[in-house]
Amino acid sequence: MNGDGSNLTRLTNSPAGEIQPAWSPDGTRIVFMRFDADVPALWVMDVNGTDQYQLTFPTAGAGDGEARYSPDGSKIVFGSLRSGHFAVWTMHADGTHARQITPDSLEARMPDWSPDGNRIVFVDQICATCFAASNVYVVKANGTALTQLTHDFGNNLTPAWSPDGERIVFIHQDYPTLGPPDIYLMDADGTGAANLTNSPARDVSPDWQSLGKD
């Protein structure tokens, strides 16, 4: 739809469920997750919904999702269960050369690229089924220099880089009370974390607006 909510247009019309759409940097393509035969896989389509085709082919019991294009559009980062646990993978934008970049010791999910395409922020979901305790990590795109950014015992989820690469926004939920989550902001090195919303309501899914320059 248009930025003001007008011109709502349906892009997919399949019996499968389709979620988690994400734009290519040039705005011409959309990558998304499709539940076909209950196996989540990654698909891509033109911005008008045409030329839909499948990028990944996970086996039963596995699945791929949470995909994001790299800033230059050449690669896609995604979360996958293909190794038997949650891990962050990268691949070329055409679906080739897939490789796991997080260690098997983590349950890695919710990846996002840094604006320069050199690093990936993600979540280690310590409890893979109960959503009880998660921390934010960062790793280089080649899988090296793994660094833990948050260390408090609680839910720290859905991290997203600022357009200038200097900060990360995420949601935090205290544990074990598991009260309503708030939106937090921290520096890209994990310091200076601050609560932005501090609300009794549930605040989730933060994202950044990229402002153009004069």
pLDDT digit string (tens) for 8-31?
999 999 899 999 999 999 999 999
Q: For 101-195, which CATH superfamily applies? A: TolB, C-terminal domain (2.120.10.30)
In 3D, which of 105, 12, 72 has the Cα closest to residue 90? 72
Report the distance separating Cα 83 and Cα 49, nearest Å.
31
HSE-up of residue 157 (Cα within 13 Å, Cβ side): 20
Task: Tell which wins on pLDDT, 177 or 64.
Answer: 64
Structural tokens at position 110: 């919710």
Report the distance separating Cα 123 and Cα 88, nearest Å.
9
Omega within 30 of 0 (cis) for the link into 159: no
DSSP character string of 44-91 = EEETTS-S-EE---PPTT--EEEEEE-TTSSEEEEEE-TTSS-EEEEE
Report the distance separating Cα 47 and Cα 9, nearest Å.
11
Q: Is the pLDDT of residue 213 over 60?
A: no
H or E stretch at 158? strand 154-161
Largest CA distance in the chain: 50
- Supply the pTM of this predicted model: 0.91
Give pLDDT tens digits for 158-208: 999 999 999 999 999 887 777 889 999 999 999 999 999 999 999 999 999
Give pLDDT tens digits for 122-169: 999 865 455 567 899 999 999 999 999 998 878 899 999 999 999 999
Task: Tell which wins on pLDDT, 55 or 213.
Answer: 55
Indicate the pairing of strand 17-23 with strand 64-69. Answer: unpaired
pLDDT of residue 36: 82
Phi, psi of 165, deg, nearest 5: 75, 5
